[in-house]
Each structure stands twice: as C-alpha cells, then as structure tokens.
Amino acid sequence: MKAEIIVLIFLFLITPVVIIYLEGKFSLFKKIGAVLICYAIGLVVGNMGILPEGAGKYQDLLTNITIPLALPLILFSMDVKKWLKMAGSAFSSLAIGLFTVLLMVFVGYWIFKGSIDEIWKVAGMLVGIYTGGTPNMAAMKTALDVSQELYILTHTYELTLGAIYLVFILSIGQRVFLTFLPPYKPLASSAHEGNKLNLEEEFESYEGFFKKATFLPLLAAFGLSVLILGASYGLSLLLPDEYSTAAIILFITSFGIAASFIPKIKAIKKTFQLGMYLILIFCLAVSSMADISKLANISFSLFYYVGLAMFGSHILHALIAKIFKIDADTVIISGSALICSPPFVPVVAGALKNREIILTGLVVGIAGYAVGNYLGVLVAFILK
C-alpha cells in the first residue's frame, strides 16, 4: 500500500514540478506547454495499465478538489482597481471578444444540437476555454458534471486547433490582420514598461517560489483557498441539488475576486503560479482517467463546433474591431489571451515585436478568468 501511494504521489504531485522546471529551462517544453505535456503523460500512463489498484479514488479526489482550490489562488493575483484605469482599447477589445465568443457558441449550438450529446455542457466548456483558458474549462467540467471522455475529447480538439491557431498568429497573423486593421501606435513614453515586465514576471516565473518569504505567505493563501471552498460548499447546500455544483464554482469565483481587493492578500507573491500548479495536477488526473479507445471515435460535429467557436469568434472579433478602428496588435493579443490564456501573452507579444501590448493581453486574459465561470454556467443552463 505504501508503494502504491508513493507511485501516485510522484505521478500526480511531483511530475508537474518536473514539467514546470523543464519548461523554464528548455524552449521546446515552453513552446509545447505544460498543460499539453501533462495531458499527454496522463493519457499514456492511464492507458498502459500501470496505475496501482485503487488509484481511481485518488484520481476522483484530485479532479474534484484541484480546480475549486486553484481558482481562488489565480484570482487573488488580480488587481481590479489598476485594470479599471486601463486605456479604453483593452476593454473595448475584451468586450468585443466576449461578445463574439458567446455569439459563435450560440450559433454552433443551433447548427450541431442534433449531432452532439449533451451539447449544452460543451457550450459551457467552450465559453470557459475561450474566456479564461484551461482553468475555466476545468471549472465548467466540475460545475456541469461533464464526463471524463467528453471533457478530454473536447479539450483534445481545442488543443489541436489551438496549435494551428498559434502557428498562424506567430507566423503570418500580423501581416494578414494589417491588411484591414490599422497598425499599433507606440506609446509616447515607456514609463510603464517596467510595470509591464513586472506583470509578465508575476504570471510566468516560479523563481524564488520556495524561499521562506514567499512560501510561508503562499501556505496562508492556500489555507484561505481551503476556507473559501468550505464556505462555498456550505452556501451551496441552501440551493436545490441541480444547481449546487455550479453554485460552488460561482461562489468560489466571487470570493476569490473579493479577496483580491484586500491588500495583504493581493500582495502575496506566486499565488497565480500555485494555482496553475494545481491545474496541472488536474490535467494529469483527468487525462489518466480517460479511455483512449473511446477517444478514437472521432466526432466531426464536435470538432467543427470547437473550430467555429475558436476561429469564428476571432475572425468576427477582427471584423468588428475594424468598425471601432482598434489596431491589429491589440486585436491579436486580445484574441490570443482569450483563446490561449494569459501565459501565452508574452510569447505572442514577442512574435509581434511589441512588448507594450503585454499588459493589454494580461488585462484581457485575467478579466476573462474572472467572468468566464459566470458566463459559462449561464450559457450552459440557458441552452439546457
């Protein structure tokens, strides 16, 4: 029994640490992404039959608690007051991006509703993934009680199409968008450059994670996350069973945002990184429970639905941006932040050779984290 527990601890708790380390050391791992690597490892290990007997209960436990614990930690790092002072173009692009995602998800629902089982759950997940990335999609899995196979299949298609999207954006995307959108106008002053670089560091680097001055406050933040989960669960008991699971996620999101207004909590470093570490544990656990033989049955309707939500929303975003005269770089970084999540913002900004838009991308992406859970649950239950 002890050997079994050691194997599970190494797989689910240590493996993400190793992947994070490799991602920081080697550009290839960074380009692939820790989330995709964790999914691949989980799928391989889970289908090789090497997990010890009784591992299922631990896998269930991890998939059920990692997301509710990760969401507050991710939201603690928000600086709502500062972001509300941002230039209008960032929020205009955010509003357009959210509108186009919702529109395409609704359009896709009416096109494919007869050919995709539980499509209302897929719709909720697509709203989640294209407003806040993997954390919100994972939250939708919990909130909507999505099966392992449907979740993995949807996310597999999303990752495949996302890779195509990134290749386009990192290569010729800027040139294509500049054919009908105005070019970016550099800031008159670079006074805010240091702040942008600090934000980039804040959301990417794990350096100094285990230093006493950082790690001890992180433990306190984790404890607060546990309390938020407990309080959210208690409040959910007041609601009908049908809505209790979704309510837990929404309560957690609300408490997490509220806590970000408390200066002492906001000042804790690396809460975002700790939250993402828990997300990687979730990715490993949920993918290790998926049956590849079931994934082999390709659902073209689901694939097209994911593609419509991803590419359709971004194309429509660009067309509407033309009306409002939003520049090409802002549209690209906003779309990338929503479709690929904030960790990809510095990568895309580097490809565009424009570090000034990093803050805009982070604003859009983190705001997506905040609103995505509300929108995902709302859309799913409307379509249900």
* Torsions phi, psi for 236 (to 5 deg): -65, -25
Question: What are the DSSP calls for 67-136, one per residue?
Answer: HHHHHHHHHHT--HHHHTTS-HHHHHHHHHHHHHHHHHHHHHHHHHTTTSTTHHHHHHHHHHHHHH-HHH
- Provide the 8-state DSSP code for 12: I
- pLDDT, tens digit (0-9, with 9 covering 90-100), for 3-55: 667 777 788 899 999 999 898 888 888 877 787 788 888 888 888 877 877 77
Q: Model pTM? A: 0.70
In this prediction, residue 361 carries a pLDDT of 79
- For the ranges 98-112, 158-172, 228-242, the one whose mean pLDDT is highest: 98-112
Contact 259, 40 (CB under 8 A): no
Structure tokens at 201: 């560091």
In this prediction, residue 144 carries a pLDDT of 92
- pLDDT, tens digit (0-9, with 9 covering 90-100), for 123-154: 999 999 998 777 788 889 888 999 888 998 89
pLDDT band, residue 88 (cuts 50/70/90)? low
In this prediction, residue 86 carries a pLDDT of 55
pLDDT above 80 for 353: no
216, with CB counted inside 10 A (0-12, 13-18, 19+), is: exposed
Query: Domain boundaries in the chain?
Result: 78-271+295-383
- pLDDT, tens digit (0-9, with 9 covering 90-100), for 229-284: 999 999 989 988 767 777 887 888 789 889 988 989 988 988 888 988 988 898 88
Question: What are the DSSP calls for 333-354, one per residue?
Answer: HHHHHHHH-GGGHHHHHHHTT-
In this prediction, residue 81 carries a pLDDT of 67
- Single-letter amino acid, residue 288: S
- Provide the 8-state DSSP code for 208: T
Of 44, 6, 8, 37, the C-alpha closest to 23 is: 37
**What average pLDDT does the structure give for the chain?**
83
pLDDT above 60 for 362: yes
Q: C-alpha angle 223/228/230, rounded to 5°?
A: 95
Looking up tokens 């033989």, which residue turns up?
Answer: 293
pLDDT above 80 for 113: yes
Residue that wins the pLDDT comparison between 250 and 81: 250
In this prediction, residue 37 carries a pLDDT of 86
Of 199, 218, 200, 231, the C-alpha closest to 265 is: 218
Question: What are the DSSP calls for 254-299, one per residue?
Answer: HHHHHHTTSHHHHT-TTHHHHHHHHHHHHHHHHHHT--HHHHTS--
- pLDDT, tens digit (0-9, with 9 covering 90-100), for 290-343: 776 765 667 889 999 999 999 999 999 999 999 988 889 989 988 888 887 666
* Torsions phi, psi for 186 (to 5 deg): -60, 150
In this prediction, residue 127 carries a pLDDT of 95
Q: How far apart are CA 351 and CA 174, in angstroms?
A: 9
Looking up tokens 């705001």, which residue turns up?
Answer: 367
Of 202, 211, 337, 198, the C-alpha closest to 271 is: 202
**Residues with Cβ < 8 Å from 10, sequence gap 6 or more?**
none
